[in-house]
Amino acid sequence: MPVILGIESSCDDTSASVCVDGKILSNVIANQTIHQAYGGVVPELASRVHQQNIVPAVQQALFNAKVRKNDIDAVAFTRGPGLLGSLLVGVSFAKSFALAKGLPIIDINHMQAHILAHFIAEKKPSFPFLCLTVSGGHTQIVLVKDYFDMEIVGQTLDDAAGEAMDKTSKILGLPYPGGPLIDKYARLGNPDAFHFPEPQIPGFDFSFSGLKTAILYFIRDNVALNPNFINENLTDICASVEKRIVTILLNKLNKAAQAYGIKDIALAGGVSANTGLRQGLQQLGDKNGWNCFIPKMEYCTDNAAMIAIAGYYKFLKGEFANQNIAPLARMIF
Ligand code: KG4
Ligand code: ZN
């Protein structure tokens, strides 16, 4: 019955979770609101707030799980990728806690953890499966052969899908992070009101920078004709942009699923919280006879439960890290 404490601090959420024998008993997430004033995450501020939040988040996670410090068998933490200053807080905390308690430590790749979040639920995907991982920094189609044997078969050549959401919202004058707001307004608008181009990229790769420019020019030109254009059309713009981003993602995922002949298809990362994407995948899956795995909302955006569950599977394999391990801002599988 291994008890794993999971720590996540790669970007702007400080999170701690307790996993007992593969079951998540707590998942505490301290969000940072300070960045809203700046229109994006300010790395230096993020690491300072992590320092304030990390101890209370861990205490709360232990309390919620009704687990004592002495019950913990190992500490799993996000090693990367992410903001170095943010990662340092979680990595340093995990190492010091483990050192003080004489516990082993387990390093986790954040992008793999987003995918392994699917092993928290009762209904788990079977290997091999395909996962579309869409976050603020990544857009990947991953062939998941085993818990820690994953291959990126397609990825963005420039911006990530979440970035496309966030940059669109910035152009529209909405606060950061814009993804959830685009989602909210899109539900009230007409997705066919405006047409945005679909980039023609070979294989299973993506590109979102052309779309961003097309949106920028579209808004600029229309605001020049009507200064009230954004206010009068906000819901239709959000619905049309969301529809295009979702179709770009699902068309490539569909292409990859056909090419690999795989029917277990999963979604992961912050953008998997998007209503249009969740519904779109389910519809496509119903049409193609896929088993679709769509994470619970709390496991879409950054959380430590995915770190704790990934830590559990590494614990079973006996794969531990050394105390001299350092965080990595860039990290591949
Ligand atoms: O995985 P995540 O929490 O952090 C990274 O590792 O990047 O993903 C954050 C991204 C942001 O770009 C945010 O705008 C987007 O996920 N996001 C959404 C929604 N919720 C979060 N995008 C669209 N619709 C949402 N409901
Ligand atoms: Zn993430």
* Tens digits of residue pLDDT in 205-243: 999 999 999 999 999 999 999 999 999 999 999 999 999
Asked whether 133 lines ligand 1 (CB < 6 A), one says no
Query: Would you state the pLDDT for residue 54?
Result: 98
In three-state secondary structure terms, 319 is coil
Query: Would you state the pLDDT for residue 29?
Result: 98
Asked whether 135 lines ligand 1 (CB < 6 A), one says yes
Residue intervals of the chain classified under CATH 3.30.420.40 are 3-116+299-317, 125-294
Fold of the domain spanning 3-116+299-317: Nucleotidyltransferase; domain 5 (3.30.420)
How much of the chain is helix, strand and coil, in % rounded to 5? 50, 20, 30
Nearest CA to ligand 1 atom 8: 270
Asked whether 277 lines ligand 1 (CB < 6 A), one says no
Domain at 125-294: CATH architecture: 2-Layer Sandwich (3.30)
In three-state secondary structure terms, 295 is coil
Of all ligands present, the nearest one to the C-alpha of 29 is 1
Instruction: State the sign of the Cα–Cα–Cα–Cα dihedral 3, 27, 78, 271.
Output: positive
Q: How far does residue 207's CA lie from ligand 1's centre (Å)? A: 17
Q: How far does residue 170's CA lie from ligand 1's centre (Å)? A: 14
Asked whether 180 lines ligand 1 (CB < 6 A), one says yes
Instruction: State the sign of the Cα–Cα–Cα–Cα dihedral 11, 117, 179, 206.
Output: positive
Nearest atom, ligand 1, residue 161 CA: 12
Query: Would you state the pLDDT for residue 287?
Result: 98
Query: How far is Cα 8 from Cα 126, in angstroms, rounded to an integer?
Result: 26
Query: Would you state the pLDDT for residue 39?
Result: 82
> What is the average pLDDT score of the chain?
97
Measuring CA to CA, which residue among 59, 92, 78 is closest to residue 309?
A: 78
Asked whether 177 lines ligand 1 (CB < 6 A), one says yes
pLDDT < 70 regions, the chain: none
